[in-house]
Amino acid sequence: MRRACLAVLLALAAATSSAGELRPFTTDSLAAIRQQFAGRPFILTLWSLTCHHCAKELQTLGKLASSERNLPLVIVSTDTSDDARELRAALKRHGLDRLDTWVFADAVPERLRYAIDPSWRGELPRSYLFDVAHRREAHSGLLNEAQLKGWLNRQRAGG
């Protein structure tokens, strides 16, 4: 049973090692993400399995991802690697498992929160909309599809 379980996990991990890998988010990860999106706008969304509203946020993002090709979206869970299985299941349920997904990886998660934004107090979901110049707009709570689409269209229109 245990061996079978591990074999399946190994296969899964091998199949998804390039795309859809849940990457450990550390204090230097935001800098790496910004580098990855240099000169491009992107959306950073933080969520948790323990957050009542976050399932709805994932649902919105899933719908957006299915209608927008190459959606510049980065999804970061504030849970831990202990929750990897549930995190993957939740992301997959909303069609988000092939996107750029991360999970907090620090024995002091507050350090990660602080590194992202000292004025963020941990409320979820939390989103940052980074424009072309990476000026960011912070938002606490749910964003709806119209808000996100509007923002994306404004970015594409160059402003």
Partner 1 sequence: MRWSIRLASALAIASLPLSATAQQHAGHAAGPDDAEVRRQRAWDERVAIASPLSVGAALDARGHLWLARVENRHLRVSHSADGGRSFSDPVAVTPQPEAVTADAENRPKIAVGADGSVHVSWTQSLGKPMSAYIRYARSTDGGRTFSPPAILNDDRQMISHRFDALAVEGRGRVAVVWLDARSRSGKTVNKSPQTDVGLYAAVSEDGGENFGKNRRVADHSCQCCRTGLTWTSAGPIAFWRHVFGRNIRDFAIADLNGGPVLRVTDDEWEIDGCPHHGGGIAADGRGNLHIAWFTNGKKRKGIFYRRVAQTDFSKSAAPLDMSVPLALGEPARQAGHPAVAASGDRVLLTWREFDGQRFSAWAMLSQDAGQSWDAPQKIAEAAQQADFTLPLLDARQALVVWNTAAEGLRVLPVAEAQP
- Contacting residues toward partner 1, per CB under 8 A: 1-2, 5-6, 9-10, 13-14, 17, 21-24, 26, 28, 48-54, 56, 80-86, 88, 90, 105-108, 110-111, 114-115, 118, 121-126, 140-142
User: 78 by DSSP, 3-state: which?
Assistant: coil
Q: How far is the CB of 157 from partner 1 (least distance, A)?
A: 27
Which residue lies nearer to partner 1 by CB, 86 or 145? 86
Rounded-to-integer distance, Cα 68 and Cα 85, Å: 27
**For residues 48 and 155, which CB has a smaller minimum distance to partner 1 in the complex?**
48
CB of 13: closest distance to partner 1 in angstroms?
4
Residue 149 C-beta: closest distance to partner 1, Å = 18
**What residues have CB less than 8 Å from 61, skipping those under 6 apart?**
45, 73, 75, 94, 96, 148
Q: Which is nearer to partner 1, 68 or 89 (CB)?
A: 89
Other Cβ atoms less than 10 A from the Cβ of 124: the count is 20
